[in-house]
């Protein structure tokens, strides 16, 4: 697994044990026969999973996670203090499964979800006094916490995904559109883990993900799952490619091979990148060659061609098709 990014991890979690109830009798100077006053044990801490919009990896999680136990009951009917919850923050789009791959939770917002509830505290002897037994000598033990191994799998929640071969100019486009500063270079497979950025445009904040180039080896294909939640896919094919129609079809095929339904409900745009490398005649022949129903834009970071147009187009698609409140 690569540094700084992790989208799959198995960890152990356990909630805290409940504290024991106390056996105690009220005592004061010259008053030896007070009734039972042993308090209840505190509740054990919960294991809580909470979504956090700012995180895009599972790498910060520890292998063993245990919430605090509740403390024992005290004299004077005092309940023991509750164990502190352990809150594990995960990126939106994280699925939590048990060891048998059964889905326990899907994290899509920043709410707190109790995964393992802390054990209840035991009752102190103050609860067991009755007409027959005025001096109960026993109290309950706390209930043990629960736990187990769980699997966390992340499919990043982003609005737009950038799809293309290595060296197409995906990371360059991400850096033009968003606040992200991905590594860019002229050797293939520069991007080895997903880069994520946010495009702030008019009244929209749009999250964009740049995954390693797909098609050439298994690396990029391993990250295709991160575009599953996207609403728009931008296919990026360099202007000096021989046959744009063909390249586009291959990219679509690769995606469908991963998941036949992955393109459903997604809007698609073709960006013909590095357009500074071609002249108008070549542009015309490219336009003739690409699928008729596919919106396209010529784009260059050198001449800035197409950048404003692309932003406006993305904005229009967002406004027409997606509820602003539902953007990631
Ligand atoms: N002339 C020209 N070169 C470009 C343009 N956009 C990107 N490039 C160059 O193309 C090369 C690849 O760009 P990247 O953005 O790293 O490509 P990528 O698709 O992210 O590549 P991988 O991470 O390997 O998949 C770099 O040398 C860029 O400088 C452009 O508009 N015009
Ligand atoms: Mg890249």
CB of 167 within 8 A of CB of 214?
Answer: no
Quick one: which ligand is closest to 219's CA?
1
Q: Write the CATH number for 73.
A: 2.70.210.12
Q: Check pocket membership of 175 for ligand 1, CB cut-off 6 A.
A: no
Q: Which atom of ligand 1 is nearest to the CA of 299?
A: 31
pLDDT of residue 143: 98
Same domain, 285 and 175: yes
CB of 2 within 8 A of CB of 137?
Answer: no
Same domain, 165 and 196: yes
CB of 313 within 8 A of CB of 298?
Answer: no
**Atom 13, ligand 1: residue with shortest CA distance:** 169
Rounded Cα distance between 294 and 275, Å, is 18
Q: Check pocket membership of 192 for ligand 1, CB cut-off 6 A.
A: no
**Atom 25, ligand 1: residue with shortest CA distance:** 166
Same domain, 27 and 147: yes
Check residue 44 and report its DSSP letter: P
Q: Check pocket membership of 171 for ligand 1, CB cut-off 6 A.
A: yes
Same domain, 111 and 226: no
Q: Write the CATH number for 285.
A: 3.40.50.300
Same domain, 229 and 146: no
Final residue of a domain: which of 154, 184, 206? 154
pLDDT of residue 241: 96
Q: Which atom of ligand 1 is nearest to the CA of 166?
A: 25
As given in the structure block, the two tokens for residue 185 are 């270079």
Q: Check pocket membership of 220 for ligand 1, CB cut-off 6 A.
A: no
pLDDT of residue 1: 37
Give the burial string for 88-119 (b: 16+ CB within 10 Å, else e).
bbbbbbbbbbeeeeeeebebeeeeebebbbbb
Q: Check pocket membership of 117 for ligand 1, CB cut-off 6 A.
A: no
How many other CB atoms sit within 10 Å of the CB of residue 60?
A: 11
Final residue of a domain: which of 154, 187, 216? 154
How many other CB atoms sit within 10 Å of the CB of residue 150?
A: 22
pLDDT of residue 212: 86
As given in the structure block, the two tokens for residue 168 are 């197409």
Quick one: which ligand is closest to 216's CA?
1
Rounded Cα distance between 293 and 238, Å, is 19
Residues 6 or more apart in contact with residue 50 via CB below 8 angstroms: 87, 88, 89, 90, 107, 110, 111, 112, 113
pLDDT of residue 80: 97
**Atom 27, ligand 1: residue with shortest CA distance:** 186
Q: Mean pLDDT of residues grouped by 10 in the chain (328 residues)?
A: 78 98 89 87 98 94 98 96 98 96 96 98 95 93 98 95 94 94 81 89 90 71 90 97 95 92 95 97 95 96 96 91 68
Residues 6 or more apart in contact with residue 8 via CB below 8 angstroms: 1, 58, 151, 152, 153, 154
pLDDT of residue 309: 97
- Measured in Å, residue 20 CA sits from the centre of ligand 2 at 57
| Count: domains in the chain | 2
Same domain, 294 and 247: yes
Describe the strand order of the beta sheet including 267-273 as a list of residue ranges.
195-201, 204-210, 160-164, 232-238, 267-273, 296-298
Range of the domain at 180: 160-326
Helix axes 170-177 and 307-321, enclosed angle (nearest 10): 80
- Measured in Å, residue 8 CA sits from the centre of ligand 1 at 29
Q: Check pocket membership of 169 for ligand 1, CB cut-off 6 A.
A: yes
As given in the structure block, the two tokens for residue 275 are 């357009």
Q: Check pocket membership of 20 for ligand 1, CB cut-off 6 A.
A: no
CB of 214 within 8 A of CB of 235?
Answer: no
Final residue of a domain: which of 106, 128, 154? 154
Same domain, 318 and 278: yes
Q: Which atom of ligand 1 is nearest to the CA of 168?
A: 19
Model confidence over 105-148: pLDDT tens digits?
999 999 999 999 999 999 999 999 998 999 999 999 999 999 99
Same domain, 188 and 233: yes
């Amino acid at each position: 697994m690569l540094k700084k990014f992790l989208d799959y991890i198995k960890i152990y979690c356990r909630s805290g044990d409940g504290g024991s109830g106390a056996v105690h009798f009220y005592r004061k100077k010259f008053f030896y026969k007070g009734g039972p006053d042993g308090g209840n044990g505190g509740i054990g801490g919960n294991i809580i999973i909470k979504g956090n919009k700012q995180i895009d990896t599972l790498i910060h999680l520890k292998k063993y996670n245990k919430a605090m136990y509740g403390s024992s009951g005290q004299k004077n009917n005092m309940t023991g203090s509750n164990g502190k919850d352990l809150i594990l923050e995960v990126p939106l789009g994280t699925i939590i499964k048990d060891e048998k791959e059964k889905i326990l939770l899907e994290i899509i917002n920043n709410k707190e979800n109790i995964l393992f509830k802390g054990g209840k505290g035991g009752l102190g002897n103050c609860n067991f006094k009755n007409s027959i037994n005025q001096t109960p000598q026993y109290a309950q033990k706390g209930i043990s916490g629960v736990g187990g191994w769980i699997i966390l799998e992340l499919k990043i929640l982003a609005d737009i995904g950038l799809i293309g071969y290595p060296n197409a100019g995906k990371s360059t486009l991400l850096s033009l559109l968003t606040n992200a500063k991905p590594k860019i270079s002229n050797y293939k497979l520069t991007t080895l883990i997903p880069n994520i950025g946010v495009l702030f445009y008019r009244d929209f904040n749009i999250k964009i993900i740049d995954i390693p180039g797909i098609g050439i080896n298994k690396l990029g294909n391993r990250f295709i799952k991160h575009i599953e939640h996207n609403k728009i896919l931008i296919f990026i094919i360099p202007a000096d490619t021989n046959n744009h129609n063909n390249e586009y079809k291959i990219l679509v095929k690769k995606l469908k091979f991963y998941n036949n339904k992955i393109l459903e409900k997604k809007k698609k745009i073709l960006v013909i990148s590095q357009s500074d490398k071609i002249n108008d005649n070549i542009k015309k022949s490219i336009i003739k060659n690409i699928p008729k129903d596919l919106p396209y834009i010529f784009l260059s970071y050198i001449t800035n061609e197409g950048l404003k147009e692309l932003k406006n187009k993305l904005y229009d698609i967002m406004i027409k098709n997606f509820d602003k409140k539902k953007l990631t």
